[in-house]
């Protein structure tokens, strides 16, 4: 495809346990004039203040700051998801939302990666660094299916190898390298070069492009990540109706299979809360009328 020759517009990075050390190593190997924007999600407690912007600003030559809702995207800058907010991307701006937690985290990696894949397609580089469990795997697969580049820290160099290992298991990764080597590869791609072809792990592996149903699922998942949890599951006003446009194929109860929709988990929670509200309202009406 013609788009494959274009340099990436942005780089999205996800990490968890052990990720701060990996991030500082990545950032210190990036030049100040790199023509790409960087977006970072690290699993952090919702009530804790984040000092990551200061840490990364000191680690390298690129300025780092907390992402701001509605702010434009600028190259040569690192944007970090603040505590208790998902970071999502549109074609010209970033969004901060307090939608449902994903993989037990807010911010989570998958929402950022999915929204980047939807908005930028083949001009996205997704990077998974050290972390526990598997957040980011589904999002990295979305990036790959949209024509983007998938990179993973070599699990043997990661403090916590679970996240990189999960990505390698389910995603045809392009490069699996140490963090300094990942940084060099990102710089090469940003300047329109392919870098060391011999190191490209996924060059001979093919990923099916997303069909319309998969694109619809991913849009729904991204929309759900943008919902306010204070309003999720709240009953609509009297006389009004509210529908969540989830195709039947995406409704799976419990945790969905890898690569399938996670929207169902949030939808199940919404329905559960609405059912509890309806049941409570019926009970109150019975008591007021004098019968049980």
Which of 75, 70, 71 has its CA nearest to residue 9?
75
Inter-CA distances, 117 with 94, 138, 213, 222, 231, Å? 14, 11, 15, 11, 27
DSSP string, 33-100: T-S-EEEEEE---TTSPP-HHHHHHHHSSS-EEE--TTPBP-TT-EEEPPTT-EEEE-SSBEEEE---
**Angle 137-145/162-170 helices, nearest 10 degrees?**
40
Inter-CA distances, 187 with 177, 194, 200, 202, 213, Å? 14, 10, 15, 19, 34
Could you confirm whether 16 is annotated as catalytic? yes
Token pair for 54: 């200061």
Q: Which of 15, 101, 119, 135 is catalytic?
A: 135
**Backbone φ, ψ for residue 53 (5° rounding):** -55, -40
Instruction: Tell me which residues are annotated as active site.
Output: 16, 43, 135
């Amino acid at each position: 495809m013609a788009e494959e020759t274009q340099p990436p517009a942005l780089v999205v990075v996800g990490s968890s346990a052990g990720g701060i050390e990996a991030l500082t190593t990545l950032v210190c190997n990036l030049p100040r004039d790199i023509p790409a924007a960087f977006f970072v999600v690290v699993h952090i407690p919702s009530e804790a203040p984040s000092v990551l912007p200061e840490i990364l600003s000191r680690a390298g030559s690129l300025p780092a700051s907390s992402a701001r809702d509605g702010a434009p995207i600028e190259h040569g800058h690192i944007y970090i998801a603040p505590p208790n907010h998902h970071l999502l991307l549109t074609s010209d701006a970033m969004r901060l939302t307090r939608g449902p937690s994903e993989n037990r985290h807010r911010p989570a990696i998958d929402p950022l990666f999915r929204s980047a894949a939807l908005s930028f397609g083949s001009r996205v580089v997704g990077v998974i660094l050290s972390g526990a469990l598997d957040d980011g795997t589904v999002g990295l697969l979305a990036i790959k299916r949209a024509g983007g580049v998938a990179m993973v820290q070599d699990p043997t160099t990661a403090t916590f190898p679970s996240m990189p290992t999960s990505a390698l298991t389910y995603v045809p990764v392009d490069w699996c390298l140490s963090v300094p080597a990942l940084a060099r590869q990102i710089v090469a791609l940003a300047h329109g070069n392919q870098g060391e072809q011999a190191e490209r792990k996924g060059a001979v592996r093919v990923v099916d492009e997303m069909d319309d149903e998969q694109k619809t699922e991913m849009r729904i998942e991204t929309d759900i990540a943008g919902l306010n949890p204070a309003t999720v599951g709240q009953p609509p006003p009297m006389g009004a109706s509210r529908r969540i446009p989830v195709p039947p194929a995406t409704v799976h109860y419990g945790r969905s299979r890898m690569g399938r929709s996670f929207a169902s988990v949030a939808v199940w929670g919404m329905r559960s809360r609405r059912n509890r509200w309806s049941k409570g309202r019926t009970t109150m009406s019975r008591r007021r009328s004098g019968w049980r």
